[in-house]
Structure 1
Amino acid sequence: MLRHKISRRFTSTVQKIDYKIQAQDVPKNATIFSMIQPTGKFHLGNYLGAARVWRDLCAFKQDDQKLLFGVADLHAITVPKPNVEEFRQLRIEAIASILSCGVDPLKASVMYQSSIPQHSQLHWLLSTFATMGYLNRMTQWKSKSNIRDAVIDPASIGKVKLGLFSYPVLQAADILIYKATHVPVGDDQSQHLELTRDLAEQFNTFYKTDFFPLPKTILAPTKKILSLTSDKKMSKSDTNQGSVLYLSDDPEIIAKKIRRAVTDSISTHFNYDPVERPGVSNLINIVSGIQRTSIENVEKDISKFDNFKDFKSYVTEVIVEELREPRLLFERYMQEPDYLDSVITRGTEEAAEMAQRNIKEIMNIMGL
């Protein structure tokens, strides 16, 4: 026990990337895993927070590195999906979006989570280590259940589905089934990565093994992208679709959404102040993320603007140019279902081989 506690205390588990991930940020023998929910076509937050980082990782991949990127369709059904055909379409659009963002299927295995049964199998094995107390401290199941304080509201807890409550354990299984060493995620997932490391450490300690590495969190360099009309995170589920920028939006739609983006009454200058000027700050953050530069540099670039029209035109131009290629590629891939099927088949076969090899060893360690 002491050996593992010492390693956790003195070894950093979170790696922050400045603006753009570089080859030296990831070891030569790293196994990198990440997934995204099948909400269909990606929005700007998905792109800057996840998919573009995946593209960067593909760009400098070395032969002894492994990259696995997938669509978390098992996680998606923790919120019921009664429209089955729509759900199938969203899964396909998610794959097309991953590829349109520049992920190379010859360098990375791209697959559906549900196609690899070992994810669910390891989920059960790890659930024998996960405690109700630890899972109860997780925040996302509470927010998705509209629970503010689970401790004093047992009636609300009683309505929570088991899958939603325990899905952080499945997320841990997603990562550990490939013995992933690095996981690029947004900061809202850091809590779940801590659980992953905790479960890996418990397993290793209990069975006196070092089978599971303790995966590092790679935090995407871009701050959270907010809705264009509120202080909430940009989300496809937003009832106001004018607040969401999709990779498939054409330039005219992007321009219209930016023109209507909520800002404030100060038009003589534009500065980053998330508290006093959240709308303007969100647009500045978007430009900073796209250009891979500091907030300060963006502020210098926009200091010449003294009206909202010019400022928003500049923001629009930056976004349109960045999303031009992903938009065209998404349209192309959605017209090539056979190609998408071939990518999924290849990725599934590669991932399944790794997962089966690892689950066999895990069960052997456990005496199964």
Structure 2
Amino acid sequence: MKRIFSGVQPTGNLHLGNYLGAIRNWVRLQKDYESIFCVVDMHAITQWQDPAELSKSTREVTAAFIAAGIDPEACVIFHQSAVPGHAQLAWVFNCVARIGWLNRMTQFKEKAGKHKENASVGLFAYPALMAADILLYKGTHVPVGEDQKQHLELTRDIAQKFNNDFGREVFPITEPLILGAATRVMSLRDGSKKMSKSDTSDFSRINLTDDADLIAQKIRKAKTDPEPLPSEVAGLEGRPEAANLVGIFAALSDRTRDDVLTEAGGQPFSTFKQSLTDLAVETLGPMNAEMNRLLANPGEIDAILKRGAERAQAIAGPVLDEVYDTVGFLRV
């Protein structure tokens, strides 16, 4: 059985980079894998979150999953905190993982910055929780981007050490699922930075909640340079904003950048931006409409999450029982 697990933090609006880099791939994977998709709200609180916003964002991420095409009947969609086994297995893994392993995690260094002594213990230890997320369901594969490869390696190390320590093959050694060239979407205001929901400028990103008029406005105001588009990819060298817009067009149209430039080479950006706007609105418009419909009916979202949590618990419960028996926890 091939089973994938993946998740998204509910920390602000999901944007085009989240869709092209992850969620769109999940929609395609659900046909070939038993799929578990999680709104990882426990990861979110490794840094302080406004409680009301966290609840709102959890529903928004769930709505985005469904609007993008993830089928809540075929897949398990739930929020992490609804299944206690995530925290329970994470504690076991905290006792398996080594401090030296966690000290090597580059994301902690990036998020904690210069003030790591003031960072939460949760932020330091969250790779162990990520391992628990995957292994609580004995996930065999995880779709990963560049920024998550190191954490998946840690998951594999924890699984292997647990199995070796107790002499039992409890956990699979999870494999990364690399899906061709990654779609790396950059800021519309600065082509050298990734599109991010934490950027102070809303015009740096296209949110999945943006309507057609706002999408058009953001693409029209996207930073470019004075030269027309080149006719081949080599001509994008040193032109990060041009490369970003061409990459977005290629990803949305499921074509290569070479194909896009063969067609659009020589065009001024005003012409290309209009074509990109039309494509973005055509692709994202139906998602935006479905997200708005779902968000207007929070009871429907909550029912999907509740049912998903029940299905997740049915898988996770026996795995946690096996772990507790293996460790030697007495249950009377």
User: Which TM-score applies when normalising by structure 1?
Assistant: 0.85
1:89 aligns with 2:61: no
What is the match of residue 170 of structure 1? 129
Matches within 5 A, 1:321-332: 321-332=282-293
The residue that corresponds to 1:34 in the other structure is 6
Report the counterpart of residue 190 of structure 1 in structure 2.
Answer: 149
Q: 1:214 & 1:249 partners in 2: Cα distance?
A: 40
Paired residues of 1:201 and 1:214 also in contact (CA < 8 A): yes
Matches within 5 A, 1:19-168: 29-58=1-30, 60-61=31-32, 65-81=33-49, 83-147=50-114, 156-168=115-127
Describe the shift of the 1:359–1:191 C-alpha distance in structure 2 as closer, same or farther (beyond 3 A).
Answer: same
Q: Does 1:294 align with 2:259?
A: no
- Indicate the percent of aligned positions where both proteins have the same amino acid: 39
- Asked if the contact 2:249–2:260 (Cα under 8 Å) also holds between the matched residues in 1, the reply is yes
Alignment coverage as a number of residue pairs: 326
> TM-score scaled to structure 2, two decimals?
0.94
Q: What SS does the corresponding residue of 1:158 show, helix, strand or coil?
A: helix
Letter in 2 for 1:318: L
State which of 284, 300, 305 in structure 2 corresponds to 1:344: 305
Distance 2:231 2:100 in 1: 46
Which structure has greater helix proportion?
2
Is the contact between residue 285 and residue 295 of structure 1 (CA under 8 Å) also seen in structure 2?
Answer: yes
For the structure 1 residues 41 and 99, does the alpha-carbon distance in structure 2 shift closer, same or farther, using more than 3 Å as the test?
A: farther
Q: What is aligned with 1:262?
A: 223
How much does 1:215 deviate?
1.1
Instruction: Tell me the amino acid that sits aligned with residue 246 of structure 2.
Output: I
Cα offset for 1:268?
Answer: 5.6
- Partners of 1:141 and 1:213 lie apart in 2 by 26
User: How big is the shift at 1:275?
Assistant: 4.9
Question: Bigger shift: 247-256 or 115-124?
Answer: 247-256
How many Å separate the matches in 1 of 2:209 and 2:65?
Answer: 12
2:316 maps to which of 345, 355, 361? 355
Tell me, which stretches of 5 or more residues in structure 1 are unaligned? 1-28, 148-155
Q: After superposition, what is the alpha-carbon deviation per residue over 1:257-289, rounded to whole angstroms, capped at 9, x for unaligned?
A: 111111222126365466501001111111222
**CA 1:188 to 1:348, structure 2 compared with 1: closer, same or farther past 3 Å?**
same
| Aligned alpha-carbon RMSD (Å) | 1.6
Structure 2 residue 240 is matched with structure 1 residue 278: yes
Distance, in Å, in 2 between the alignment partners of 1:268 and 1:136 is 44
